[in-house]
């Protein structure tokens, strides 16, 4: 519940990749293709999303 609240508090661009990575167990390249984003952008969004989650928790 606490983690779900933290994820829901993320900006949508970070939330989307975090959910795909951690709830749906997608690989970075799968997320990149699914969202039509460069791989580097996906990695950066996951990194920044995790940083925000750490601050929230």
pLDDT at 51 over 90: yes
List the domain boundaries for the chain.
2-56
Measured at the alpha carbon of residue 27, what is the angle toward residues 25 and 29, in degrees to the nearest 5? 150
Average pLDDT, the chain: 95
Does CATH place domain 2-56 in 1.20.58.100? no
Over the stretch 17-34, which tens digit does the pLDDT of each residue have? 999 999 999 999 999 999
């Amino acid at each position: 519940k606490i983690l779900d609240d933290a994820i829901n508090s993320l900006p949508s661009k970070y939330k989307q990749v975090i959910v795909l990575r951690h709830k749906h167990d997608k690989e970075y390249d799968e997320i990149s293709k699914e969202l039509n984003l460069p791989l580097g952008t996906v990695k950066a969004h996951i990194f920044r999303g995790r940083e925000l989650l750490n601050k929230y928790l």
